[in-house]
């Protein structure tokens, strides 16, 4: 036997990724004394992660350009490459190229990545390791062998892409075709397979760590059951369902698989758990760092990025399974630019307001800042927000309050939906199966009273802003006048008009200044401004005193009331001619490309019939007819690009 040659310490690391995960890796690497190198595309030229790196290299095409990333590592003298998650993180060919170039790869071996990257091959290996699996078939026509309901799944990739739930045989053909298209576009491989779908289930995963000396441990479980489009939005550790016995059983199954593979670095073994029987079944292995890794760090105190870098340096773990302990509870939510009221479709725009509150203390991991543009090039996640507490209830409450107090505007987000979820009785009771959103429908935390109060606050802030900008009369008290003048007013168009009134789509705040410095609203309330700044205002409304952050951008006022941010577009005095949408017009709900057009001019269509398939952010979105009618005009064709709100076609409603 020969003594292995010790590896040289890592002095620098290039992160072959972007956004919040690049910043996350930089934070730990810098703390370990490493120089941090970023790569970026033109769309990210001004992104925070580029500014925070010690050195940044522009990529000519995309984050999938392996040759350009390797060239960047060579020219900067990077000792290691960390792939983050997504992009090239589970690309075995890229991992081999990194190793062949003499650069340290932060992750498992290319052979392990390759074997686990194919979900079909991964299931075979799991069976070899003695890990239970769900009934499945590699033949997409063998639905009779699998049984209904079933899931069509892409063999490559993850993140919910290339997945379709099928309830009956008549849905199978279209589901397989759509899944194959989505898989090909997202992963370059259209192979799909069928797997039994467990209706009442939980998604629970085990975090594992392995070093090059044969040591393997697990760090407990994370539950990631609350999902939309098979993508996680709430994750937590420990799971409210898992007890000590179940944790030991799932942990041992994950370790058996890791040992069978010779797993090195951080990885996650994912299981589907039948909520009724408690049985668990192997789903897949993610051969990389997970988006939700912070909840494991919070309850174990182990920095997973640090462990990845140590393992890549050749170090032993230095601890065994009996040394792992868990403390309290941690919950993470993914703050997305998306519209929960429109099937969670991604949203775009500029973050006019993005200001986390100072309290309560939670962990923010974000790739954006105020002024960042959210486009269609990348995943619409804005931030991960993580709270840790001695109990699950306290962690959930702390996280909800932090989200409520955040000043956020300019882009439609799922913030209020997340708050409603965290404060929902079913969630707090641990009733968090994968059908949670459909079954419980947490809704939104914003109320009509919030909108009404925000409008008053916005009107008072705008009055202060106008006075601050008035170089002639700005010094004078608000009630100063030389004669009788009519009341002042401002009109808003609430983003959700129905939240303001059942009948009106305009919210008018009319007020008259009083001698004591207060104003009286037309509705009778007395309002006193105690303090005004360009960023917030402190007002008293009929004895109720509050301070609210306020931002005005592009004639839209954003007011945060401590529970939600209300979006209030200022109603223009004049309407631009021709701005109304034609009757019967179908518009694009987001920017994207046209995949399919399933109708022609003159076709009779029925309500709910899919007429157009758009692709945005590697996901397909179906545009359906809102009523029975006839297509009278078609303004798009397959392969074309459309902007958000673009008119796609016209339908004449049948009498």
Orientation angle between helical segments 110-117 and 119-128, nearest 10 degrees: 100
Band (478; pLDDT cuts 50, 70, 90): low
Rounded CA gap, 539 and 616, in Å?
43
Rounded CA gap, 350 and 407, in Å?
14
pLDDT for 15: 98
pLDDT for 495: 66
585-653 topology per CATH = OB fold (Dihydrolipoamide Acetyltransferase, E2P) (2.40.50)
pLDDT for 515: 81
In the chain, where does the domain assigned CATH 3.30.700 lie? 448-569
* HEC sequence for 245-289: HHHHHHHHHHHHHHHHHCCCEEEEEEEEEECCCCCEEEEEEECCC
How many angstroms separate the Cα of 159 from the Cα of each of 84, 553, 585, 617? 14, 34, 33, 12
pLDDT for 3: 43
**337-375: pLDDT as tens digits:** 999 988 888 888 999 999 999 999 999 999 999 999 998
Name the pTM for this structure. 0.84
Please say whether the beta carbons of 29 and 23 come within 8 A.
no
pLDDT for 118: 86
**595-619: pLDDT as tens digits:** 999 999 999 999 889 999 988 766 6
How many angstroms separate the Cα of 594 from the Cα of each of 62, 432, 598, 646? 22, 36, 11, 12
Question: Considering the domain 203-440 in this protein, what is its CATH number?
Answer: 3.30.470.20
Any idea which residue has 């919030």 for tokens? Answer: 450
pLDDT for 1: 38
**96-124: pLDDT as tens digits:** 999 999 999 999 999 999 999 888 889 89
pLDDT at 406 over 60: yes
In the chain, where does the domain assigned CATH 2.40.50.100 lie? 585-653
pLDDT for 575: 58
Q: Is 175 helix (H, G, I), strand (E, B) or coil?
A: helix
pLDDT for 578: 53
Rounded CA gap, 283 and 597, in Å?
35
pLDDT at 229 over 90: no
Q: Lowest mean pLDDT of 178-192, 366-380, 499-513, name the range.
A: 499-513
Orientation angle between helical segments 415-422 and 392-404, nearest 10 degrees: 150
Q: Lowest mean pLDDT of 23-37, 279-293, 439-453, 454-468, name the range.
A: 439-453
pLDDT for 474: 58
Higher pLDDT among residues 2 and 177, named by residue: 177
pLDDT at 483 over 90: no
Task: Give the CATH number of domain 448-569; options: 3.30.700, 1.10.3470, 2.60.120, 3.30.70.
Answer: 3.30.700
pLDDT for 616: 74
Orientation angle between helical segments 244-261 and 119-128, nearest 10 degrees: 110
> Which residues, other chains included, contact 310 with Cβ-Cβ below 8 Å and sequence gap of 6+?
none
pLDDT at 35 over 90: yes
Rounded CA gap, 160 and 162, in Å?
6
Peptide bond preceding 489 in cis form (omega within 30 of 0): no
Peptide bond preceding 626 in cis form (omega within 30 of 0): no
Higher pLDDT among residues 468 and 37, named by residue: 37
Band (201; pLDDT cuts 50, 70, 90): very high
Rounded CA gap, 402 and 358, in Å?
8
Residues above pLDDT 90, as percent of the chain:
72
pLDDT at 624 over 90: no
Mean pLDDT for 130-140 is: 90
**Domain formed by 135-196, architecture:** 2-Layer Sandwich (3.30)
pLDDT at 4 over 70: no
pLDDT at 176 over 70: yes
In the chain, where does the domain assigned CATH 3.30.470.20 lie? 203-440
pLDDT for 580: 56
* DSSP helix, strand, coil percent of the chain (3-state; round to 5): 25, 30, 40
pLDDT at 5 over 70: no
Band (257; pLDDT cuts 50, 70, 90): very high
pLDDT for 159: 62
In the chain, where does the domain assigned CATH 3.40.50.20 lie? 12-106
* Helix (H) or strand (E) segment spanning residue 219: strand 216-223
pLDDT at 551 over 90: yes
Rounded CA gap, 18 and 9, in Å?
25
Mean pLDDT for 534-558 is: 95
Q: How far apart are the first and last CA of the chain?
A: 87
Looking at every residue in the chain, the average pLDDT score rounds to 90
12-106 topology per CATH = Rossmann fold (3.40.50)
Mean pLDDT for 290-306 is: 98
In the chain, where does the domain assigned CATH 3.30.1490.20 lie? 135-196
pLDDT for 36: 98
pLDDT for 476: 58
Band (502; pLDDT cuts 50, 70, 90): very low
Mean pLDDT for 37-58 is: 97
């Amino acid at each position: 036997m020969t003594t292995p040659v010790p590896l040289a310490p890592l002095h620098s690391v290039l992160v072959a990724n972007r956004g919040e995960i690049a910043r996350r890796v930089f934070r730990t690497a810098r703390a370990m004394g490493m120089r941090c190198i970023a790569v970026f595309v033109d769309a990210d030229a001004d992104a925070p992660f580029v500014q925070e790196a010690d050195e940044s290299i522009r990529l000519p095409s995309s984050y999938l350009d392996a040759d350009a990333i390797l060239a960047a590592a060579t020219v900067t003298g990077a000792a290691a490459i960390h792939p983050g998650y997504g992009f090239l993180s589970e690309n075995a060919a890229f991992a081999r190229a990194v190793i062949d170039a003499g650069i340290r790869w932060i992750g498992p071996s290319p052979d392990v990545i390759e074997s686990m990257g194919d979900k079909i091959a991964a299931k075979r290996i799991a069976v070899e390791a003695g890990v239970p699996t769900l009934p499945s078939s590699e033949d997409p026509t063998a639905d009779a062998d699998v049984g209904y309901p079933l899931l069509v799944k892409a063999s490559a990739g993850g993140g919910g892409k290339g997945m379709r739930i099928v309830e009956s045989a008549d849905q199978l053909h279209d589901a397989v075709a759509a899944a194959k298209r989505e898989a090909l576009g997202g992963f370059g491989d259209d192979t799909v397979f069928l797997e039994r779908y467990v209706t009442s289930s939980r998604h629970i995963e085990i975090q594992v760590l392995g070093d090059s000396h044969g040591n393997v441990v697990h760090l407990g479980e994370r539950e990631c059951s609350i999902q939309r489009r098979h993508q996680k939005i709430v994750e937590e550790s420990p799971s409210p369902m898992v007890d000590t016995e179940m944790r030991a059983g799932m942990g041992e199954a994950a370790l058996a698989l890791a040992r069978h593979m010779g797993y090195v670095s951080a990885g996650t073994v994912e299981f589907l758990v039948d909520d009724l029987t408690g049985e668990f079944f192997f789903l897949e292995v993610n051969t990389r760092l997970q988006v939700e890794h912070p909840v494991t760090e919070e309850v174990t105190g182990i920095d997973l990025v640090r462990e990845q870098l140590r393992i890549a340096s050749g170090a032993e773990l230095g601890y065994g399974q009996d040394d792992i302990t868990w403390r309290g509870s941690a919950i993470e939510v993914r703050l997305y630019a998306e519209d929960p009221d429109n099937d969670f479709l991604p949203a775009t725009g500029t973050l006019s307001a993005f200001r986390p509150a100072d309290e309560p203390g939670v962990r923010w991991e974000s790739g954006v800042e105020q002024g960042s543009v959210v486009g269609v090039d990348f995943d619409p996640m804005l931030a991960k927000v993580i709270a840790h507490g001695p109990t699950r209830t306290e962690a959930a409450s702390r996280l909800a309050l932090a989200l409520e107090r955040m000043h956020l505007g300019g882009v439609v987000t799922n913030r209020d939906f997340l708050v409603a979820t965290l404060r929902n009785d079913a969630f707090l009771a641990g009733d968090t199966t994968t059908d949670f959103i459909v079954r419980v429908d947490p809704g939104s935390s914003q109320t009509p009273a919030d909108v009404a109060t925000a409008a008053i606050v916005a009107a008072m802030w705008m009055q202060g802003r106008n006075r601050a900008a008035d170089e002639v009369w700005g010094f004078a008290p608000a009630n100063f006048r030389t004669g009788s003048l009519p009341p002042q007013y401002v009109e808003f168009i609430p983003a959700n008009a129905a939240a303001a009134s059942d009948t009106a789509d305009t919210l008018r705040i009319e007020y008259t200044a009083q001698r004591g410095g207060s104003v009286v609203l037309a509705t009778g309330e007395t309002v006193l401004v105690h303090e005004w700044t360009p960023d917030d205002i402190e007002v008293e409304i009929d004895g109720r005193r509050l301070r609210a952050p306020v931002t005005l951008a592009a004639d839209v006022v954003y007011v945060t009331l401590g529970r939600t941010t209300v979006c209030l577009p200022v109603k223009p005095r004049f309407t631009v001619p021709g701005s109304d949408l034609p009757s019967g017009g179908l518009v694009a709900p987001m920017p994207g490309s046209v995949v399919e057009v399933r109708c022609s001019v003159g076709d009779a269509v029925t309500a709910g019939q899919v007429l157009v398939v758009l692709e945005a952010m590697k996901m397909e979105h179906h545009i359906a007819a809102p009523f029975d009618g006839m297509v009278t005009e078609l303004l798009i064709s397959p392969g074309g690009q459309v902007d958000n709100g673009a008119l796609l076609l016209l339908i004449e409603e049948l009498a």
